[in-house]
Structure 1
Amino acid sequence: MESLPALFYTALAAGAAASISYLFYLAILEPQWNPLRRLPGPPVRGFFGNHMGMVLDPSRSPRVHEAFVKHYGRNLRIRGFLPWDQRLFTLDPVSLAHIMKHSTIYEKPWQSRALISSLLGVGMLAAEGQVHKRQRRVATPAFSVQNMRALVPVAFQKGVELRDRWMALIAEAQSGAEARKNGGGARLDVCHWVSRATFDVIGLAGFDYQFNAIQDESNELFTAYKEMFEIAVSQQGGGLWELLIVYLPILDRFAPGPRYGVIKKSQEVIKRVAGRLIQEKKRKIEEAEKAGSVYGGKDLLSALLRSNVAVDLPTDQRISDEDILHNINTFMFAGSDTSSLSLTWILYLLSVYPDVQTRLRAELRALLPPLPLSALTDEDAAALYAKVAALPYLENVIRETLRLIPPVHSSIRVATQDDVVPTATPVKLSTPDGGVVEEDSFVMPKGCCVHVPIEAFNLDRGVWGPDGWQFKPDRWGNLPEAVKAQPGLYNNILTFSAGPRSCIGMKFSIIEIKMFIFTLVSNFKFAESDKVGKANVVLTRPYVMGKHREGSQCPLLVTPYIPESAA
């Protein structure tokens, strides 16, 4: 009879052999049998080589994407981070529309859901299937056109407050040594300031909570959200440890680093403070119901809670308080970070293209009311926004910025079952005998991922024309015919995604962007201060060239605008 140590070593050896055999299958055999191998694709250097760096880096991805189409067509195969990670890369509008439409077949992979849920909980960004469907059904009334319009005064108020804060900072700067050099303006990190302002907006619009972040950054709930989003997400190193955590999240618990500590501390504050806000809102809604009235809170949390207890919503379709909190976290992230980045990139592009800035300012200032903006009532602000929303050049500047620099550079989906993907143009598939055949569809195998190149779709020069990489707001007056075939919730671009998982807060984001641009560009001139580049760190963020380690920033020279007649 074998001794216990011998049995242990035998079992250990058997386990090791099984693991090695499985890895051999994954890395060597499975890729050879994968139907995606029939698609053309770029070569891979080395056993652990992959294409992710070149497709994720916004400083070179446009050139890479265009080279892919030129050499391999609009549907091709690339390799992900691991040897067996074969992925579909598609710039075919029919293929992508099919994938985005069939969201129950193509879901976020578990790695993405684990990362999102570890930060925000299982809200609409992380949920799939029936859970997502139930959450979206409850949330949709909160994002109605009527509710969004009710939030206009909030965005307007915070735009005016940011204007006044910048005026004060510029006045302070006039006493410094840099005053003459800056020509009456000041060097401001607009990325930082706009982020504080959009946090204020989503705080009030989201759950009627005053962060007061434009004035100071001491609020504990603001600090918790900001640290979680910036330190745990924006400042990821993208190294081996971060990659291992994505695939093995449990490592974060056994060997917790600074990221894990920030997340844990932030989530404790959010659960305590935001959880209390939810209970207070529920109490007010219940008290109003007992009094025979309806609680009139205009914030998203109030609308969400009212929708969740609506008489026409079956009990089994309602969501828990925990789900409510997770979705508020999701709205905070999506409503502050993406909007602030869009605003930042608009201001940056206006500084790079002063002629566009001058033309836009003339259009905006033509709507300035005789009263000071700070004196306008909520009704006045709503009436003013109706006029601002109809401005054609403002609309084109926003469209063009969201096309050129989408906050989300790319995303990923995984096939939950084998699927046949249609194509707009024939795809060249290899045959067992070494030949090639052209087909109008191809097989997407279960378990394989789709790389959704959002930026590439928006910049595709085969669709948008030879100037597709340039910032040209006037293009929207005469679009190429091919643009109409592009999928996308917003103006045939993928910035707000497409299909059932498209951005539920698009209307709110556009309202916020337009009101801030109206207030800021009509009152300030923006000029380049430092050379700014893009980096894809969860979202596409600005960094000063050569100073990446200093974090995301976009310093611009901001000067009060003085009309020539008043100068």
Structure 2
Amino acid sequence: MSESMPTSYIMLVNAVLAAFIPLLVYLLYLVFIQPRFNPLRKLPGPPSKRWRADHLGMVMNPSVSPRMHEAFVKQYGRNITIRGPIPWDYRFFTLDPVALGHVMKNSHLYEKPWQSRRLITGLIGCGMLAAEGAAHKRQRRVATPAFSIQNMRALVPLVFAKGHELKERWAAMIADPIAGDSGKDARRRIDVCHWVSRATFDVIGSAGFDYQFNAIQNESNELFNAYKEMFEVAISQQQGSYRGLFAIYFPIIDVLFPDKAVRTVRRCQGVIRRVAGQLVQEKKRKIAEAEASGVAHQGKDLLSLLLRSNAAADLPPEQRISDEDILHNINTFMFAGSDTSSLSITWTLFLLARYPSIQTRLRAELLAVAPTASLAALTSEEIASLYAAVTDLPFLENVVRESLRLIPPVHSSIRVATQDDVVPTSVPVRTRMPDGSVQDLMHVMVPKGAFIHVPVEGFNMDREVWGHDAWAFNPDRWDNLPEAVASQPGLYNNTLSFSAGPRSCIGLRFSIIEIKTFLYILLTNFVFAETESQVGKANVVLTRPYVIGKHMEGSQCPLYVSPYVAEA
């Protein structure tokens, strides 16, 4: 036995070395060899002297990113290299409209990195936010009919009903003499982020799959709580820890050593699979029964429209999506449809509270089209007519545009090059050549595997494009935009707030309906003012409001809300 141990030990050492040496060689290649041939190193950019130094904190933290974006452009230009968290991670950072337009348009060349897709898939499944290539095209083709103008207009009365319900709930809260002030100047401190989120959950529950969360009234629904808790724990309260980073690269960590967040997400996903899965099957049964009786199913919710589109006779079988994909996209609609809209509404109310003169001016415009009857007494046709009048109001349009420009729901994004590419630019790029000289080139060589940082907020707030007051909330700028704005890429008014290109936001129309409807109802009934709490921005998947010093309490935006009383 004792004679065999040295042999076994040697075999073990050899096995370890056989596994370790190739890994060591690969790491040495990444650290010392690959960077020498990376063309992005030839671009100008901020220095990175320390081995672990990176620049992501500068460009992704909303409290400093506007200043850093501007400093980079002034010192290094619009097309530069920044460093990621590891020494060989050189990233292409661009504030060039031509370069950015090329990246966003060619989604087959520039995809979401597998790290981002794994994070999204682990939370809400492989819906349109995570799918790439043929899978994304197939899902988007099936979903596009559901988001037609006609179908979105049909949802207007539902959105008005939920806005009215939220208004009634707030009015009752303010009138409660125990909970708030009483009398003529009654007001109540309300976390508008929390309450608007509950309302948009109700909207997407009804509009998404004809399901009643009743979140405005209470928070007892198990499906609502599953979604809310999952998003809050996995997104709003995430700290960007090294554990989370390692778990993306080594998922076995979460399998063997799940922490509280992982266990919470798993529990919530179990509820969603059970309840939402039943909703999908029940909806399919109703559609089949309607077809069997020769009557078209009349459901206008997104799930019904999605299922009907997926079963359309002119859709080839190979282009249909599975029930699992349907569920993943319902999860995607729940996340994107409730979170982005609620944050957009919240930030707009916050800005209007900060700029009371703009709030007063907007309220006057909204009241000018208000009907004499209460919303509850209006028919669906009258609601549709009211929304048509509201959506055409010029100052409301300017306020919404300006709010989405100044605080886009997505602060920044990232893409990865799937092959070597030549990216055109609108301005010369000072590029270091192999012989040590520097030349001005009108393109950038991007190697396969390189990350491209897409500074959404940076494009929206670029003072060289939008003017010297681009960092200020000025809705009137939209009446006289600088000429440079016209060259900016973007689906929505030359901003990147709803992205651009083939992967732009499919729910743009639905989101604008929610934003304008809620602003109309809330501003014609309430006055909003800032509280003593300091609210800041945090880039946690989406741009979320937090009370300074209370980050771990989750997203919050407390405002004083008081009833609007017309002057005699």
Q: Could you tell me the TM-score, scaled by structure 2's length?
A: 0.97
CA contact (8 A) 1:253 1:260 kept: no
Q: Which residue of 2 aligns with 1:488?
A: 490
CA contact (8 A) 2:175 2:182 kept: no
- 1:15-68 deviation per Cα after TM superposition (whole angstroms, max 9, x unaligned): 222222211211222112111111111111311110111111000000000011
Corresponding letter in the other structure for 1:19:
L
Aligned equivalents of 1:27, 1:513: Cα separation in 2: 48
CA shift at 1:14, angstroms? 3.3
Q: Which residue of 1 aligns with 2:371?
A: 369
Q: Which residue of 1 aligns with 2:22?
A: 18
- 1:242-275 deviation per Cα after TM superposition (whole angstroms, max 9, x unaligned): 2222332331112100111111111111111111
1:443 counterpart SS class: strand
Q: Are 2:103 and 1:99 aligned?
A: yes
Aligned equivalents of 2:113, 2:503: Cα separation in 1: 14
Q: Which residue of 2 aligns with 1:544?
A: 547
RMSD of equivalent CA atoms: 1.3
Q: Are 2:348 and 1:346 aligned?
A: yes
Aligned equivalents of 1:403, 1:247: Cα separation in 2: 34
Corresponding letter in the other structure for 1:115:
L
CA shift at 1:86, angstroms? 1.0
Aligned equivalents of 1:341, 1:36: Cα separation in 2: 36
1:292 counterpart SS class: coil
CA contact (8 A) 1:182 1:557 kept: no
CA contact (8 A) 2:237 2:551 kept: no
Q: Which residue of 2 aligns with 1:304?
A: 306
Aligned equivalents of 2:495, 2:82: Cα separation in 1: 23
CA contact (8 A) 2:48 2:54 kept: yes
Provide closer, same or farther for how the CA distance between residues 381 and 39 of structure 1 changes in structure 2, counting only shifts above 3 A: same
Aligned equivalents of 1:182, 1:427: Cα separation in 2: 62
CA contact (8 A) 1:39 1:429 kept: yes
Aligned equivalents of 1:181, 1:452: Cα separation in 2: 50
* Counterpart selection for 1:433 from 431, 435, 439: 435
Aligned equivalents of 1:442, 1:111: Cα separation in 2: 24
Within 5 A, what are the aligned runs for 1:374-413?
374-413=376-415
- 1:423-458 deviation per Cα after TM superposition (whole angstroms, max 9, x unaligned): 011111101222210111121100011000000000
Q: Which residue of 1 aligns with 2:519?
A: 517
Q: Which residue of 2 aligns with 1:414?
A: 416
- State how many pairs are aligned: 563
- 1:366-420 deviation per Cα after TM superposition (whole angstroms, max 9, x unaligned): 1111111111122211111111110110010000000000011001000000011
Aligned equivalents of 2:112, 2:351: Cα separation in 1: 32
Consecutive unaligned residues of structure 2, counting only runs of 5 or more, are none
Aligned equivalents of 1:422, 1:453: Cα separation in 2: 18
* Counterpart selection for 1:190 from 188, 192, 198: 192
Structure 1's consecutive aligned runs of 4 or more residues displaced over 6 angstroms after TM superposition are none
* Counterpart selection for 1:558 from 554, 557, 561: 561
CA contact (8 A) 2:409 2:497 kept: yes
Corresponding letter in the other structure for 2:398:
N
2:275 counterpart SS class: helix
Aligned equivalents of 2:89, 2:299: Cα separation in 1: 48
Corresponding letter in the other structure for 2:557:
C
Q: Are 2:18 and 1:5 aligned?
A: no
Q: Which residue of 1 aligns with 2:502?
A: 500
Deviates more, 1:556-565 or 1:36-45: 36-45
Q: Which residue of 2 aligns with 1:451?
A: 453
Q: Which residue of 2 aligns with 1:75?
A: 79
Identity %: 64
* Counterpart selection for 1:138 from 142, 151, 155: 142
Q: Which residue of 2 aligns with 1:62?
A: 66
Q: Could you tell me the TM-score, scaled by structure 1's length?
A: 0.98
Within 5 A, what are the aligned runs for 1:234-273?
234-273=236-275
2:80 counterpart SS class: strand
1:3 counterpart SS class: helix
Corresponding letter in the other structure for 1:278:
V
Aligned equivalents of 1:391, 1:164: Cα separation in 2: 25
Deviates more, 1:38-47 or 1:192-201: 38-47
CA shift at 1:182, angstroms? 10
CA shift at 1:181, angstroms? 11
Aligned equivalents of 1:28, 1:378: Cα separation in 2: 67
* Counterpart selection for 1:86 from 70, 87, 90: 90
Corresponding letter in the other structure for 2:547:
V
Provide closer, same or farther for how the CA distance between residues 256 and 196 of structure 1 changes in structure 2, counting only shifts above 3 A: same
Deviates more, 1:107-116 or 1:8-17: 8-17
Q: Are 2:119 and 1:150 aligned?
A: no
